[in-house]
Amino acid sequence: MSLSMPGPSQAGLFKPGYQSHDAEDGAVIRNIEACQAISQTVQTSLGPYGRNKIVINHLQKMVLTSDAATILRELEVVHPAAKLLVMASQQQDMEMGDGTNLVIILAGELLKKAEELLRLGLKSSDIVQGYEKAQNFALKVLEDLEVDRLKELRSEGELSKALRTVVASKQSGTEDFLASLVAEAVLAVLPKNPVNFNVDNVRVVKIMGGSLEHSRVVRGMVLGREPDGTVKKASRAKVGVFSCPIDISQTETKGTVLLKSADEMLNFTKGEEERLESAIKELYDSGIRVVVAGSTVGDLAMHYLNRFNILVIKILSKFELRRLCRVVGATPLARLGAPMPDEMGSIDVVETTEIGGDRVTVFRQEEANAVTRTATIVLRGATQNHLDDVERAIDDGVNAVKAITKDPRLVPGAGATEIQLVERISAFADRTPGLPQHAIRKYAEAFEVIPRTLAESAGLDATEVLSRLYTAHHRASNGAEASSEGSTEGSSEEEEPYWTAGVDLESGTSAGTLDAAEEGILDLMASKSWAIRLASETARTILSVDQIIVARQAGGPKPPGPNANWDED
């Protein structure tokens, strides 16, 4: 009986230059290692005491932030398995606007636990099956962990309560001020049906100088430039928006004109001047007192606009132009001429004001109770990097409002929800027969990474903090089992708060725990459930991969490599 030697399975199948990584080469383990590398990169940035990262991107722009979504956007990840992790975090950013770090860390930890099981001899199919059961159970458990919900969305205090934790994870120490700032801006633009809230209606303008406490909300739009003409203020004015140049129309072909006398020269320009003057007069007669130009404004046109006391401001960004059209209710015109009544907009006040040495133009609505179409948060701060980071925190807060309009339920933060999930999923694993129970137990253990990371980043003894949390939660669950429907009078007051015990980052003691619900550290249930769903899906997808086939790169010039002298001035 002859033995056939195993040859390369893809010989002659693909073009030369292909790379293939099989399960025998440890493709799954290598994928897990790549995902863990990216998970460890952002893990230290979790929570209020998360560390900042400096990322210098391919354009040599420096980004300083602890926001996982921004870090991963600036890093160009090429490993296919790690890319899946980045895609999951981007999806979380699009769905909820917050919790991107949770997705990456949880998925990385799930894969780390899966690696332990693979080395023990479990098949990846058993692990995937166990993870799927555990995920479904975790999402059911999360429904029972609700401790509060937003009863009145239009109350600034209620809204700030939900936004505090979201903002605190990026800007610890100023969360109360920033949360009330975001709540004020959101309530100014919140429509009658809150589900129709558009996050694009809350804008941020960053102006250097002053301190964060000098930041304020403007009902309307703030543009970082002055009007171009001599008129700097208008009130109760009609607005015309033009996306075309406001100037003498140029001919398509070049021509030569021979002028023989000074009179001919004067008459030559007079016709053009008269035509332009009649066009500006037409605007004035239609009632327009504010002109917004999306392109150039000629010197002669500016002269006539000033003469007719029309305020002119140039906005060269087409996105800003579109937003301003929404604020004033106008239609951008591609022709110079008097707009129709329905194409004109109106604004209560257009004024130029000075904020910290910068001259800005404010378009605002005056009515106190009316819902404005756009609100702008004017941020003040010492450095551009700090302002950028505060803007990201505000962006997360505004996106969180979008999530709150869909689901107002809140769960305890500070790692309390995660420890409770560990307790309950571990108990579920004990009741599950067969091999998947090992995967379910490891799935439960993975949640431990959140409170541990929070404690480590705050400089606490993570082992001691976790043991205190487990003790508190275990006593709570035992108390809940022991007590009947209306628990005994003595135990209810003592045992009730325990399952909301979380990591106390502020105490400074070696092992601090606090009651997250009482302290007002609350996370959005929707954000948490999406993070668990996306992290579990990604981990299962990566564990299901047993082969990677990489084609040779196409020809053409090589992309520019990293700059070796990035740290030199």
The confidence score (pLDDT) of residue 3 equals 47
* Predicted confidence (pLDDT) at residue 491 exceeds the cutoff of 50: no
- Please tell me the distance from the alpha carbon of residue 57 to that of residue 11, in angstroms, as a whole number: 40
Average pLDDT, the chain: 75
What is the secondary structure of 266-305 as a DSSP string? Answer: HHHHHHHHHHHHHHHHHHHHTTEEEEEESS-B-HHHHHHH
What DSSP state is assigned to residue 422?
Answer: H
User: Which of the two residues, 171 and 488, has the higher pLDDT score?
Assistant: 171
Contacts of 35 (CB under 8 A, 6+ apart): 81, 82, 84, 85, 107, 108, 111, 542
Kindly compute the dihedral angle of the four CA atoms of residues 380, 383, 386, 387, in this order, to the nearest 10 degrees.
40
For 125-170, the three-class secondary structure string (H helix, E strand, C coil) is HHHHHHHHHHHHHHHHHHHHCCCEECCCCCCHHHHHHHHHHHHHCC
- Please tell me the distance from the alpha carbon of residue 292 to that of residue 310, in angstroms, as a whole number: 10
What is the torsional sign of CA 283, 288, 291, 295? negative
- Please tell me the distance from the alpha carbon of residue 128 to that of residue 144, in angstroms, as a whole number: 25
The per-residue pLDDT for range 318-345, each reduced to its tens digit, is: 787 888 887 777 787 777 777 787 778 7
The two tokens of residue 429 are 């694993």
What is the secondary structure of 432-451 as a DSSP string? Answer: --STHHHHHHHHHHHTTHHH
Mean pLDDT confidence for 146-161? 76
Burial of 186: CB neighbours in 10 Å, binned 0-12, 13-18, 19+: buried
The confidence score (pLDDT) of residue 371 equals 55
- Please tell me the distance from the alpha carbon of residue 258 to that of residue 256, in angstroms, as a whole number: 7
- Please tell me the distance from the alpha carbon of residue 232 to that of residue 312, in angstroms, as a whole number: 8
> Per-residue confidence at 18, pLDDT binned at 50, 70, 90?
low
Q: Which CATH number is 18-147+413-477+513-550's, of 2.60.40.790, 1.10.3720.10, 1.10.560.10, 3.40.50.300?
A: 1.10.560.10
* Predicted confidence (pLDDT) at residue 508 exceeds the cutoff of 70: no
Q: Of the ranges 154-168, 258-272, 282-296, 472-486, which one carries the lowest mean pLDDT score?
A: 472-486
Could you give the percent of the chain with pLDDT greater than 70?
82
Per CATH, 18-147+413-477+513-550 and 220-250+264-371 having the same topology is answered: no
Nearest Cα to Cα of residue 452 among 164, 166, 47, 107: 47
Q: What's at 170, amino acid-wise?
A: K
The confidence score (pLDDT) of residue 563 equals 66
pTM for the structure as a whole: 0.76
User: Which of the two residues, 567 and 400, has the higher pLDDT score?
Assistant: 400
Q: Which CATH number is 220-250+264-371's, of 3.40.50.1820, 2.60.120.310, 3.50.7.10, 3.40.50.150?
A: 3.50.7.10
The confidence score (pLDDT) of residue 483 equals 46
- Please tell me the distance from the alpha carbon of residue 188 to that of residue 242, in angstroms, as a whole number: 28
What DSSP state is assigned to residue 52?
Answer: P
CB atoms closer than 10 angstroms to residue 456: 18
The two tokens of residue 56 are 């210098």
- Please tell me the distance from the alpha carbon of residue 535 to that of residue 39, in angstroms, as a whole number: 11
The two tokens of residue 365 are 């609505």
Mean pLDDT confidence for 213-220? 80
The per-residue pLDDT for range 358-410, each reduced to its tens digit, is: 778 887 776 655 556 778 888 888 888 788 888 888 888 888 888 888 877 88
Q: Please, where are the H alpha helices in 330-415?
A: 384-406
**Is 261 in a helix, a strand, or coil?**
coil
The confidence score (pLDDT) of residue 542 equals 81
> Per-residue confidence at 413, pLDDT binned at 50, 70, 90?
confident
Question: Which residues partner with 202 through β-bridges?
Answer: 375
Q: Please, where are the H alpha helices in 286-317?
A: 299-307
**Is 218 in a helix, a strand, or coil?**
strand
* Predicted confidence (pLDDT) at residue 73 exceeds the cutoff of 50: yes
Contacts of 21 (CB under 8 A, 6+ apart): 27, 30, 547, 548, 550
> Per-residue confidence at 5, pLDDT binned at 50, 70, 90?
very low
Mean pLDDT confidence for 245-250? 70
Residue spans per domain, the chain: 18-147+413-477+513-550, 220-250+264-371
